[in-house]
Amino acid sequence: MKSTFNAVKISEHVYWVGAIDWAVRDFHGYRTGRGTTYNAYLVSGDEIILIDTVKAPFKDELLSRIASVVNPKDINYIISNHSEMDHSGCLPDVINAVWPEKVFASVMGTKALAEHFGLDNITPVKDGDSLPLGGLKFSFLETRMLHWPDSMVTFLSEDKLLFSQDAFGMHLASSERFADEIDEAVLIWEAKKYYANILMPYSNIIPAALKKVGESGFDIKIIAPDHGPIWRNKIETLPKLYPVWAAQKPTMKAVVVYDTMWQSTALMARAIGEGLAGGGADVKLMNLRAAHRSDVATEVLDAGALLVGSPTINNQMFPTVADTLIYLKGLKPQNLVGAAFGSYGWSGEAVGKVEEILKEMHVGLVGDGLKSKYVPNSDILEKCVSLGKQVADKLKEVCGK
Ligand code: FEO
């Protein structure tokens, strides 16, 4: 029977056989405005090797693409580079469908696949191991925490192709399979958003993982990640940006995040923005009714300042502000200065509560939290402008301007 979905040949021995998720808009809390792909790859040598699988609901699409090249039952081996369920969700079903001779994963991957699915017959490969499969050479390098402890990359020597799993991926659904077929500005934005929301917490160890791959001796000409397009040209683009994003060197950019009940905190935010801009900062005002937490994280990745505004509601900060702060705290952004501000009616606890979280995030607070009882008057607005200017001055200092 003819396949509905087709494989795409990407190199001499390798076909893309993944799935395109055009509709997904939430990836465990990360808004995926452009959808995503779950990439899997079929390697055709003397034997057939499947690299990774896809999210469970897309199993039939995966099997259909495989069937456009070979009978799925002809798959001899499966290599699982990463156990997160967007890549392993249908692995148990695929194993039952094709009965491969062996399934390989990293040592941590074997444990994770056992804990996820009760798969207790996975063959571990060690960091630095190589295997001849189907007359081709596959080499494995652990890349722990890029993205999970089990993560590894696989290099196919004959095609000079690195299967990089989450690394260098992005959430971007497209009918194009190669990065050079897509607008570069879109690629950089989505790769940055992916780094900010998925990889930022591990920024202290990612450079070492990349160095390890760089010093492996692999002659990489193609990077095939598990999400988004495949890189066959300008393959150094993301490997050059990752260390920059990991370093999070402060810049003159200030992100002002806020919510508001009756526009008082919004007015304070706008006045602070004026002060920041007047002081030479690049300002990004983000009202949380219009901006998603994952877009805030993306903007914070290359910022030097984070200012957070919240009205007080029932003695607490506004729920959207709490949501975004807890999310950001988990992502562990580095090297930020900032401040808290907000309007209140009776007791005004929100600003103090925001400051507590900013301190836990090691954000260097500039001045005391700025509060306005009800609607900010001209005196308060002047203080807002002044706070913005103070933060801009601090940014100049930390940026050496
Ligand atoms: Fe795309 Fe960490 O999974």
* 99 Cα–ligand 1 center, Å: 25
Residue 250 has pLDDT above 80, yes or no: yes
When pLDDT is averaged across residues 371-392 and rounded to a whole number, the result is 98
Question: How much of the chain is in helix, strand and coil states, percent to nearest 5?
Answer: 40, 25, 35
- Is residue 237 over pLDDT 70? yes
Minimum CA distance residue for ligand 1 atom 1: 166
Q: Is 13 a catalytic residue?
A: no
Looking at residue 46, what is its pLDDT? 98
Report pLDDT for 3: 85
Produce one character per residue of 59-76: b if its CB has 16 or more CB atoms within 10 Å, e if not: bebbbbbbbbbbebeebb
Active site (annotated) includes residue 87: no
Phi and psi dihedrals of 333, rounded to 5? -65, 150
Per-residue pLDDT tens over the stretch 164-178:
999 999 999 999 999
The bridge status of strand 48-51 relative to strand 75-80 is: parallel
Catalytic one among 61, 142, 166, 295?
Answer: 166
Annotated catalytic residue, options 61, 84, 142, 299: 84
Q: Residue 183 and residue 328: Cα distance in Å, rounded?
A: 29
Catalytic residue among 86, 299, 302, 355: 86
- How confident is residue 1, by pLDDT bands cut at 50, 70 and 90? low
Residues within a 6 A CB radius of ligand 1? 82, 84, 86-87, 147-148, 166, 226-227
Tell me, in angstroms, the distance from the centre of ligand 1 to residue 50's CA: 17
Query: What is the mean pLDDT of the segment spanning 237-247?
Result: 97
Distance 344 CA to ligand 1 centre (A): 41
* Residues 177-215 pLDDT 10s: 999 999 999 999 999 999 999 999 999 999 999 999 999
Predicted confidence at residue 2, as pLDDT, reads: 77
Tens of pLDDT, residues 62-116: 999 999 999 999 999 999 999 999 999 999 999 999 999 999 999 999 999 999 9
Å from CA of 83 to ligand 1 middle: 8
User: Which atom, in ligand 1's list, is nearest to the CA of 147?
Assistant: 2
Which residue out of 38, 194, 242, 258 is catalytically annotated?
194
Helix (H) or strand (E) holding 62: helix 59-67
| Per-residue DSSP letter, 262 | S
Tell me whether residue 362 is one of the annotated catalytic residues: no
Q: Whose CA is nearest to atom 3 of ligand 1?
A: 84
The question of whether 166 is a catalytic residue gets the answer: yes
Mean pLDDT of the chain: 97
Ligand 1 centroid to Cα of residue 380, in Å, is: 46
pLDDT at residue 228, rounded to an integer: 98
28 catalytic per annotation: yes
- Spacing, Cα 56 to ligand 1 middle (Å): 13
Q: Which atom of ligand 1 is nearest to the CA of 227?
A: 1
Per-residue pLDDT tens digits for 311-360: 999 999 999 999 999 999 999 999 999 999 999 999 999 999 999 999 99
Spell 94-103 as b/e; 16+ CB within 10 A means b: bbeebebeeb
Q: Position 112: which residue type? A: A
Lowest mean pLDDT among 2-6, 37-41, 180-184, 296-300: 2-6
What's the longest Cα–Cα distance across the chain? 78
Distance CA 82, CA 165 (A): 7
Active-site residue, 82 included: yes
